[in-house]
């Protein structure tokens, strides 16, 4: 009788890791990131340098930290039609340039930045962002529709587009997102009513970048 050899093949599962970008000892609070609830539409972006990141990674989730202490606003606070995008700047830029535009994250007067800017990738689209009342910062985790492959070279940009189109009533100082104070322009935002602020110059922010935890393999 012939002898049949059966081989079992086991695929090694990738190791899931986390990289937290922020400094709890110098925490600030910002109501304008990742979205500004007091306007119909808004945009924000955060820049993370190569030296801050662990190296090449495929990002599958991001986590931010938010609290909403006001009892005057709706609870929970629900915002629809949210989008997260990512890209890199290959020359490891440490600040956003002047006159940065919301649509393509390009600057009309900075050819070096534009030359090293990679294609902007939509990693999560048309999702709902829901915040509940809390006196302490709570973790809000978002699983990306399309994991982002960061090659470990250059700065990583995380952009958030709010296209909900509705104004949220309540207090203008709430909700607050946990950020880390800094002296560089590594955060930016813009907002307006009635229409999305497409291809407009953003406001560069030197008072704090959103704290983010990247989950990756």
Element (H, E) at 114: helix 111-116
Task: Please give the share of the chain, as a percent, with pLDDT higher than 70.
Answer: 89
What is this structure's pTM? 0.91
The per-residue pLDDT for 170 is 56
d(CA 169, CA 194): 15
Higher pLDDT, residue 147 or 92: 147
Tens digit of pLDDT for each residue in 163-215?
999 977 555 667 899 998 877 899 999 999 999 999 999 999 877 899 999 99
Do 210 and 177 meet the contact criterion of CB atoms below 8 Å apart?
A: yes
Token readout for 72 is 């005057």
Structure confidence at residue 131 as a pLDDT band (50, 70, 90): very high
141-157 in b/e form (b: 16+ CB < 10 A) is ebebeebbebeeebbbb
d(CA 202, CA 188): 6
Average pLDDT value for residue range 8-24: 73
Tens digit of pLDDT for each residue in 22-58?
876 678 888 899 999 889 999 999 999 999 999 999 9
Q: What is the CB neighbour count within 10 angstroms for residue 3?
A: 4
Residues contacting 125, CB < 8 A, separation 6+: 83, 84, 145
């Amino acid at each position: 009788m012939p002898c049949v050899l059966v081989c079992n093949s086991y695929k090694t599962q990738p190791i899931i890791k986390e990289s937290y970008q922020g400094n709890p000892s110098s925490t600030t609070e910002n109501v304008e990131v990742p979205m500004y609830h007091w306007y119909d539409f808004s945009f924000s972006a955060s820049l993370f340098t190569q030296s801050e990141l662990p190296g090449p990674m495929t990002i599958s989730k991001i986590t931010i930290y938010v609290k909403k202490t006001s009892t005057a606003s709706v609870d929970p606070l629900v915002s629809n039609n949210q989008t997260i995008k990512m890209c890199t700047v290959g020359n490891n830029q440490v600040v956003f340039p002047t006159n940065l535009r919301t649509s393509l994250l390009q600057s009309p007067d900075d050819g070096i930045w534009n030359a090293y800017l990679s294609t902007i990738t939509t990693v999560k689209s048309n999702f709902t962002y829901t915040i509940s009342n809390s006196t302490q910062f709570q973790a809000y985790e978002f699983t990306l529709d399309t994991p982002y492959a960061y090659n470990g070279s250059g700065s990583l940009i995380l952009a958030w587009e709010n296209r909900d189109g509705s104004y949220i009533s309540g207090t203008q100082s709430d909700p607050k997102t946990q950020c880390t104070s800094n002296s560089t322009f590594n955060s930016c935002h813009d907002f307006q009513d009635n229409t999305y602020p497409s291809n407009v110059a953003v406001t560069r922010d030197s008072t704090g970048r959103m704290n983010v935890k990247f989950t990756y393999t």
